[in-house]
A and B are shown apart, each in its own frame.
Chain A
Amino acid sequence: MPRRNRSDGRDGTRRPQRHKGVPGDRGVPRTGDFRCVQCRLDVPVTAPGTAHRNHCPNCLASLHVDRRVPGDRASDCRGRMEALSVSVRPDGEWLIVHQCLTCGELSANRIAGDDNALVLVRLALRPLRDGSVPGRILLAL
């Protein structure tokens, strides 16, 4: 799926790019490939348009390894993190909000160039499709 090219107008207020298992980093094996905890897909860590992959491009699931700072890998939880919702940064970039099924912790992660677009759109539609609120709102207006 082709991505719309956005001018890279980052506002500079966000923390710098996370470092997560980048091959060549000290202490990280050169191969950071992983098997998805949810759909068992073998995920190569490098792919076009994905600088620092932290979730499965097929089902968007992730693993709880970071504690406070994205990329710190300081958490012992190792729970499965499920895609919970989509957030849009001021510059228009999509983030997936993940929630750990073991401990409830939340994290926000940039989408990657090869994430499954249909799964992303379904995730974005969830509040409108499954929520009890939209009907109430439309009735109230």
Chain B
Amino acid sequence: MSNPSNSLKISTFVCTWCDLTVSAFAADGTRRNHCPSCLHSRHVLDQVEGGPTDCLGRMSPIAIAVLRTGDWMVVHRCVRCDELTSNPVCKDDNQLILMRMAVRPLAQTPFPLEAFGTL
């Protein structure tokens, strides 16, 4: 999340990573927390204390998590202070980037997968 535009009622932010200008709300009206193109975000909320934070560091996507509903969440980590957040994916988030994040652990296992038969 980045600077909300103060000149327009239509609120937008500029992605801290890829510089894309993004509308702050997705088509279905949900508020975006991350860039739909590169999935990077900005550290604006303090997860430990609650409320806003002064950090404003860039938050990079580090993992995909699954809710009990089956919906995906993106786990972000602040590159400045290491705080973690998780946020729902939006319908128009870049699906290939999401998929690449989801399969990354399996592409880089710390042990040989050959040892497993069927799971």
Contacts and interface: CB of A to CB of B under 8 A. Distances in A.
Interface in B36-78: 47-48, 62-66, 69-72, 75, 77
Chain A contact surface mostly: mixed
B108 to A, nearest CB: 5
Interface centre among A111, A122, A131, A136 (most CB of B within 10 A): A131
Chain B contact surface mostly: mixed
Nearest to B47: A105
Contact of A85 (B47, B64, B69, B83): B64
A2 interface: yes
Interface size class of A (residues with CB under 8 A): 35 or more
Given A1-B111, A105-B48, A106-B85, A133 B104 contact: no
Contact of B116 (A2, A4, A67, A118): A118
A17 interface: no
Given A99-B86, A118-B116, A121-B106, 12 more contacts: A85-B63, A85-B66, A94-B110, A97-B63, A99-B65, A121-B113, A128-B103, A131-B64, A132-B69, A133-B95, A133-B102, A137-B99
